[in-house]
Amino acid sequence: MRSIYLFSISPHPEAIHINPLDITFFKLQIDFSSYDYLILTSKQAVKALQQYDESLYKKIKALCISQATAKAYEVLGGEVLEVGSGYGDDLANTIIKYPKQTKWLYLRAKEVASDFATASNKLGYSVDEMVVYASRCSVKIQEIDVAEDAILIFTSPSSVQCFLRSHTIKSTQQIIVIGKSTAKALPEGVSAVVSDERSIESCMKIAFQRKIN
C-alpha cells in the first residue's frame, strides 16, 4: 500500500508527518485593552498569544479563519466571535458586518497570502496588524526522502513551496491539497484533489481511499 506523507504543522497518527516550517515567535508590546476583537488566521497566531498573560486577551473574542484555529483559541481559554471559511480574503466579508468604529487586532505572520486587512482599512474599517511570528522552510522537509508512489498531502501554499525547494513532484505520486490557495501553489501541469473541507481529516479521508488502489 502507498505511504501517506502529510506536510503540515499538525501531525496525524496514520501519516508520515513532515513539519514544513520552523517558527520564530515575536513578543511585541500590545495593549489588548484597545481592541474589541482579535483576528486569528492560524494556530501559530494562537500559540503566539501564550507569550502573554492570559488575563490580557482571554476576554477578547476572536474572529478565526477556520474551525481548527477556533478550537485552538478555545483550548487556550478564549471565546470565538465567528469562524470563517478557511480563506483569508473571506474575512473581509465578516469585518464589514460590524460598525466601522470596531477595533480589530490582526495577529499575523511576517508573510501572509491575503491582504484582507489592507482592503478593510481602505473601506474605513479599523484593523491593526501585529507580526507575532515568522516562518522558514524546515530542514526536515528539505531532507525527507519521499517514495515515488507516495500520496502527498499539502496543507498550505508554503508547504508546497518548501517541498519544491529540494524536491520535484513525480507523475507517479498522488497529490491532495487542503484548499484552492494551496492548489494554486502547485507547479503548472500537476493535478491534485482538493479536500471537501479545509481540514487534515478531510484530506486523510481522501488519502485512505487512494491508499488501497
Closest CA to 179 of 13, 1, 8: 8
The pLDDT of residue 41 is 94
Q: Given a cut of 70, is residue 213 above it in pLDDT?
A: no
Residues 79, 104 contacting (CB under 8 angstroms): no
Shared domain for 35 and 48, answered yes or no, is yes
The pLDDT of residue 212 is 56
Tell me the C-alpha distance between 209 and 29, whole Å: 48
pLDDT: is 7 or 1 the higher one? 7
Query: Which of 89, 113, 136 is where one domain is finished?
Result: 136
Residue located via cell numbers 470565538? 80
Residues 14, 4 contacting (CB under 8 angstroms): yes
CATH code assigned at 83 = 3.40.50.10090
Shared domain for 114 and 39, answered yes or no, is yes
Query: Which of 87, 117, 136 is where one domain is finished?
Result: 136
Average pLDDT for residues 5-13, to the nearest whole number? 94
Q: Which helix (H) or strand (E) segment is 207 a member of? A: helix 200-211
Average pLDDT, the chain: 93
Determine what percent of the chain is predicted with pLDDT higher than 90.
Answer: 85
The pLDDT of residue 68 is 87
Q: Given a cut of 70, is residue 145 above it in pLDDT?
A: yes
Shared domain for 169 and 159, answered yes or no, is yes
Reported as a single tens digit per residue, the pLDDT across 176-202 is 999 888 999 999 999 999 998 888 999
Listed as own residue / partner, the contacts of 59-63 with beta carbons closer than 8 Å and 24 or more positions apart are: 60/32, 60/35, 60/36, 60/105, 61/37, 62/37, 62/38, 63/37, 63/38, 63/39, 63/91, 63/94, 63/95, 63/104
Residues 39, 91 contacting (CB under 8 angstroms): yes
3-class DSSP state for residue 102?
coil
Q: Which helix (H) or strand (E) segment is 109 a member of? A: strand 103-109
Shared domain for 166 and 73, answered yes or no, is no
Shared domain for 112 and 48, answered yes or no, is yes
Query: Which of 136, 170, 199 is where one domain is finished?
Result: 136
Determine what percent of the chain is predicted with pLDDT higher than 70.
Answer: 99
The pLDDT of residue 4 is 96
Average pLDDT for residues 39-66, to the nearest whole number? 95
pTM of the complete model: 0.77
Reported as a single tens digit per residue, the pLDDT across 53-100 is 999 999 999 999 989 899 999 999 999 999 998 778 889 999 999 999
The count of domains in the chain is 2
Domain housing 43: 23-136
The pLDDT of residue 113 is 76
Shared domain for 126 and 178, answered yes or no, is no
- Cα first-last separation, the chain: 8
Q: Given a cut of 80, is residue 23 above it in pLDDT?
A: yes
